[in-house]
């Protein structure tokens, strides 16, 4: 029922705006004609007799004055509504703060236990103060923040209190609401309190085009741990943004999710989903998926290609791994090339590493030269002395630059 009321309010406002626009357009036409025929109906314009002898520019001025007056009435009405709504919210805030200080805080944090009679009295007082949506949002949001930042008895109390105020109707109506702010609020509450029964609806929200809503829905599903293998992300059939990917990776690490289906993510037809799978494999040191990651090297999607290289540098552990990175150096992006230089320089194959770093200094661009020379300072001073005297002006400058930095 509450969801229906929200939708009625939502559409009534939009119908009002559309009707107002139609009224203005229709009025400009009606105002300039003696009569209008609509089917079998004829609508006479009683004002036309006063307008037929005036010039067109004066008619336009006259009509715009009328629209201006209508606009003034509307603006004045909105101001009255806004002020009344503001006063109501301020009153609710004051009442809520009194309730919070005198009842909620003492219930959650005081050591002494309340009797059943005292609990019922406090709950009754609480429910009286939570009659409006605004008051309930304030209360639930405070409970949510306390619940997210506490553990043990206090956290348990917030959950029991949340259930006692019967949140279901509000959260269900908000998650189905046409307003974005309602959906985000509902998702945060569901996520922090681990509320069950909303999974299918949240999965639908995770397919929306709105980036903020989609990210919040995905994080909520991760927090609920109903799809721990993360297969649902591949099934969303949508393009994840870099923001989505970073949020997902951060959440997975915070929740310590282990049962990830890396394979289905890495081989996904969606480049950003594949990139997510590779990033997770990299952070969780999933060496067994190196062969799958290799298939993404040289991909037409630059970011996916780069992430595949970065993952391989993080997972490199054998001579063959380092050789592959060296052999495919030219296919890598600049960021990946710099990481390859660092990885190979830190490998156990010191002779091969020095040879590779010398090749980079002699053949690659300035940034790569600087990185390679920096590593050679620790590995091979003979190469540094040779490059100081190089006939190549750029190599000589790069060498002097890193020496100056390290003085």
pLDDT per residue as tens digits for the range 303-343: 999 999 999 999 998 889 999 999 999 989 999 999 999 99
Q: Which residues contact 61 (CB under 8 A, 6 or more apart)?
A: none
Give the model confidence (pLDDT) of 38-71 as tens digits.
667 777 666 655 555 666 566 667 667 777 777 7
Top-ranked range on mean pLDDT: pick from 97-106, 364-373, 388-397: 364-373
**Distance (Å, whole) CA 139 – CA 379:** 62
Instruction: Of 18-27, 162-171, 275-284, give the lowest mean pLDDT range.
Output: 18-27
Q: How many other β-carbons are positioned within 10 Å of the β-carbon of residue 90?
A: 10
Q: How far apart are CA 26 and CA 260, in angstroms?
A: 60
pLDDT in tens, 217-237: 999 999 988 887 888 888 887
Q: What percent of the chain shows pLDDT beyond 90?
A: 26
Distances (CA, A) of 104 to 107, 127, 142, 147: 5, 12, 10, 13
Per-residue pLDDT at 387 exceeds 60 = yes
pLDDT at residue 85, rounded to an integer: 74
CA dihedral 381, 382, 383, 387 (to 10 degrees): 100
Q: How far is CA 63 from the centre of its chain?
A: 47
Q: Find all residues with CB under 8 Å of 352, minimum gap 6, and list them.
A: 322, 323, 326, 344
Q: Is the pLDDT of residue 257 over 90?
A: no
Give the mean model confidence (pLDDT) for residues 147-174: 81
Predicted structure pTM score: 0.74
């Amino acid at each position: 029922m509450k969801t229906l009321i929200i939708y009625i309010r939502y559409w009534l406002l939009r119908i009002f705006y559309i009707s107002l626009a139609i009224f203005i357009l229709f009025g400009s036409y009606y105002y300039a004609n003696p009569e209008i025929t609509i089917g079998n109906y004829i609508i006479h314009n009683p004002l036309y007799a006063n307008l037929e002898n005036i010039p067109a520019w004066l008619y336009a001025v006259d009509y715009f004055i009328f629209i201006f007056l209508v606009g003034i009435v509307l603006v004045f009405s909105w101001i009255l509504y806004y002020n009344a709504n503001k006063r109501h919210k301020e009153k609710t805030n004051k009442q809520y703060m009194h309730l919070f200080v005198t009842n909620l805080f003492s219930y959650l944090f005081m050591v002494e236990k309340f009797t059943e009679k005292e609990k019922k009295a406090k709950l009754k007082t609480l429910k009286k103060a939570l009659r409006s949506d605004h008051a309930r949002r304030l209360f639930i949001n405070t409970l949510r923040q306390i619940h997210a930042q506490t553990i043990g008895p206090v956290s348990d109390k917030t959950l029991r209190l949340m259930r006692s105020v019967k949140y279901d109707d509000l959260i269900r109506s908000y998650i189905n609401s046409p307003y974005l702010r309602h959906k985000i609020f509902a998702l945060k509450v569901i996520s922090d309190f681990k509320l069950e029964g909303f999974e299918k609806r949240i999965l639908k929200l995770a397919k929306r085009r709105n980036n903020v809503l989609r990210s919040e829905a995905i994080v909520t599903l991760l927090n609920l741990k109903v799809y721990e293998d993360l297969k649902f992300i591949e099934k969303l059939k949508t393009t994840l943004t870099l923001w989505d990917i970073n949020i997902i990776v951060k959440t997975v690490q915070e929740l310590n999710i282990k049962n990830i289906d890396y394979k289905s993510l890495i081989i996904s037809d969606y480049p950003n989903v594949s990139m997510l799978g590779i990033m997770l494999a990299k952070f969780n040191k999933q060496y067994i998926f190196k062969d799958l990651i290799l298939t993404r090297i040289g991909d037409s999607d630059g970011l996916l290609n780069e992430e595949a290289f970065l993952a391989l540098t993080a997972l490199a552990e054998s001579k063959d791994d380092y050789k592959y990175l060296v052999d495919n150096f030219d296919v890598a992006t600049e960021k990946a090339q710099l990481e390859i230089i660092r990885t190979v320089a830190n490998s156990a194959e010191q002779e091969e590493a020095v040879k590779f770093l010398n090749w980079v200094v002699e053949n690659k661009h300035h940034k790569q030269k600087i990185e390679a020379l920096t590593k050679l300072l620790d590995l091979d001073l003979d190469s540094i002395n040779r490059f100081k005297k190089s006939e190549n002006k750029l190599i000589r400058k790069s060498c002097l630059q890193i020496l100056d930095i390290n003085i």
